[in-house]
Amino acid sequence: MKTVTCLLVFLMLIPKVQAQNYEEAKVPAYTLPDPLLSLNKVRIKTKTEWETTRRPELLRLFADHVYGRSPTAYSDIKFTVTNENKVAMEGRAYLKEVRIDVTQHQKTVAIHLILFLPNRVSGPAPAFLLINNRGKENTDPTRATKSDFWPAEMLIDQGFAVAAFHVSDAAPDDKTTFQNGVLQLYPDLLAADNGMRTLGAWAWGASRAMDYLQQEARVDKNKVAVIGHSRGGKAALWCAAQDQRFALVVSNCSGTGGASLARRQFGETVQRINTTFPHWFTPKYKQYGDNEAALPVDQHLLMALMAPRPVYVGTAVEDRWADPLGSFLALKNAETVYALYGVGPLPSATQPQVNTPVIESRLGYHLREGVHNLTRYDWTQYLAFARYHFEKH
């Protein structure tokens, strides 16, 4: 009887294992769209041509086919400090909790920003903004709970300001209630086949947090990084692609719809992500399930939209679902756009070895040991990366 049960469980698992596609040999042959060839087949040769032609074209393509169009305006934005503590973290930090009220069409949504400023830094400090897709306890302003997902003390001790907001403020991460955030202000986008959904809303939320950080005297507005893990890492990339006020972006274990190439169909596929999370992407993206070759973009072009700013992609060996190699290849295939700015390539032709971070390159990458998570190891590399590049390399 026992043997029969084992056999049944095994047989039930077979389709799952196959569906996961973790075999490099099964990656289909694919051709990536050329970053430097515009839709009407004009070759982009200079950064001016990139900035005036191809960059806007790609932003439109990503909006229309992947993430959905973002709002272009709001009628009012208001910042209210709801709590502060000048001697947080045993005096090492100044805590500010800020409610960001955004109004449009007589409706208002609130984004709650948690911000710690390093007290030992006398001038404006560089900052990291986390798009928090996990529990709110991970960004506890009281610091009664501490989490490696957002090791705020570590950043403060290195002279960084550290900020976070929770994705649910911008859009609940739920297929039936996602519209009860910022999309309430933009019914036209909710109705549109190419309007934003949750990832777009989270990216928009990060930009509203940036609106506040821009006028916070103790933050260096030219040195603000946006970071996210997994679904938050997808949103961080889309945010920084659109909002060039972010000087640096970190995408941790973001996988499909984030840092990894859709055309590889390795791990999570477009079909699968749209089935499990139908509320993340614009409705049009569903057309590309099992039809990745028809996508006018792939994720290397999202990386290219960061140029010439530093972008770092963190991956993990056991996180095959998010395709660590496909993420490396996306970075690699953005190099030609960085070259337009005279920025050198990622100094490794092949995927770097485990636990060998590439920091001294505007295209940063690591493959660490372990599972799908945002860890202290990851943050250590991201801080080193930000320090290196913010100190003008």
Residue nearest to ligand GTR (CB): 230
262 within 8 A of 287, measured Cβ to Cβ = no
Instruction: Quote the least distance from Cβ 5 to ligand GTR, whole Å.
Output: 28
Instruction: Quote the least distance from Cβ 169 to ligand GTR, whole Å.
Output: 17
Q: Measured between alpha carbons, how far is 40 from 219 in angstroms, rounded to an integer?
A: 42
Please give the positions annotated as active site. 230, 372
Closer of 65 and 96 to ligand GTR (Cβ): 65
Q: Measured between alpha carbons, how far is 375 from 147 in angstroms, rounded to an integer?
A: 9
Query: Counting contacts by CB under 6 A, is residue 256 touching ligand GTR?
Result: yes
The correct pick among 168, 179, 198, 230 for binding ligand GTR (CB under 6 A) is 230
Q: Convert 194-239 into a string of H (helix), E (strand) and C (coil).
A: CECCHHHHHHHHHHHHHHHHHCCCCEEEEEEEEEEECHHHHHHHHH
Closer of 117 and 171 to ligand GTR (Cβ): 171
378 within 8 A of 368, measured Cβ to Cβ = yes
Instruction: Quote the least distance from Cβ 253 to ligand GTR, whole Å.
Output: 7
H-run or E-run covering 121: none
Q: Looking only at residues 259 through 318 of this chain, which bind ligand GTR when binding is defined by CB under 6 A?
A: 268, 273
Q: Measured between alpha carbons, how far is 389 from 393 in angstroms, rounded to an integer?
A: 5
Q: Measured between alpha carbons, how far is 237 from 135 in angstroms, rounded to an integer?
A: 21
Instruction: Quote the least distance from Cβ 299 to ligand GTR, whole Å.
Output: 13
Mask for 128-167, x = binds ligand GTR (CB under 6 A): -----x----------------------------------
Q: Measured between alpha carbons, how far is 60 from 57 in angstroms, rounded to an integer?
A: 5
185, two tokens: 């202000």
Name every residue whose Cβ is closer than 8 Å to that of residue 371 and which is 6 or more positions away in sequence. 316, 318, 319
Closer of 186 and 321 to ligand GTR (Cβ): 321
Instruction: Quote the least distance from Cβ 268 to ligand GTR, whole Å.
Output: 5
Closer of 268 and 298 to ligand GTR (Cβ): 268
Closer of 94 and 288 to ligand GTR (Cβ): 288
Task: Please name every residue paired with 107 in a beta bridge, in sequence order, or none if there are none.
Answer: 104
Count of residues interacting with ligand GTR (CB under 6 A)? 7
379, two tokens: 């943050």
Which residues here bind ligand GTR, judged by CB under 6 A?
A: 133, 230-231, 255-256, 268, 273
